[in-house]
Amino acid sequence: MFRILTFLILASLISSCQTSNPLFSNVINPDLNDSLSLQLINAVEPVLKTGDKITMSIWNHNDLSIGSVNSVYTSNESTGKWLQLDDEGKVNLPKIGRTKLSGLTVKEANYFLEQSYSNILKDPIINIRVLNHFVTVLGEVNNPGRYSLSNETISLVEILGEAKGLTAYSKNEDIELIRIVNGQSIKWRMNLTDLASLPSRNIALQPDDIIHVGATKAKANDRNLGKASLITSIVTGVAVIISVFIK
């Protein structure tokens, strides 16, 4: 019986030490050629679309602002002080009513609203902020999670900094960007170990991008050693118990 129990425990050890399947292994992984690199690196400001949640701040006019970024009325998604673009890409704004903003960048929306409000306000200063634009960072970073994108563009290296940097197990030549392009998921693998190539790899991120930092083999080895130590302790304990009953 002891031999059978030992065999079962060892079989469990072997199966538990197997490497799990990597994340995002079934998305399209094209070559990162020069023309594609340029498209990724060049910052493209996202356009507003149906479903986006925005705040609008009008300087010195908090009564007309929704979630003002200039005062104590600063808000986020959880406060409810925001407007959502409807299925026509419009929002209902104070004094000027339903206004279409979809298809505009934040800068274009700011200018458009300043022109619209100039009919009732003198030299209005307006700031639009989008609340639901995020980038997700996973894998070997010290603080993985979902990070809000500001109105300004942010690069790959900057978002890794926001995630408190890479862990000791990070595989710096295996950093992946997953992005929706024309309705399908595309994955680019990047190597950040080469300082000379950093300018061509420091990609400008877009809403809904996913960054995944791979792990080195050392992490899997350390994890398996930990499992082996645990199971060895269990086997030893079971052997002691059985020996007592056999006596």
Alpha carbons 91 and 66: distance in angstroms, whole number: 11
Band the pLDDT of 185: cuts 50, 70, 90.
Answer: confident
| pLDDT tens readout for residues 20-37 | 556 666 666 655 555 555
Q: What is the pLDDT of residue 112?
A: 97
Instruction: Kindly give, in sequence order, each residue whose CB lies less than 8 Å from that of residue 94, ignoring residues fewer than 6 positions away.
Output: 63, 64, 66
pTM here? 0.67
Separation of alpha carbons 181 and 81, rounded Å: 31
Same domain, 141 and 116: no
Same domain flag for 35 and 104: no
How large a percentage of the chain has pLDDT more than 90? 37
Structural domain of residue 209, as residue ranges? 16-44+133-218
Same domain membership, residue 194 and residue 152: yes
Least confident of 47-51, 152-156, 165-169: 152-156
Return the pLDDT at 84.
93
CATH of the domain at 126: 3.30.1950.10
Q: Both 36 and 58 in a single domain?
A: no
Does residue 238 form part of some domain? Answer: no
Together in a domain, 114 and 156: no
70-103 residue pLDDT tens: 444 445 555 558 899 999 999 999 999 999 999 9
Indicate whether 38 and 141 sit together in one domain: yes
Tally the domains of the chain. Answer: 2
Cβ count within 10 A of residue 34? 8
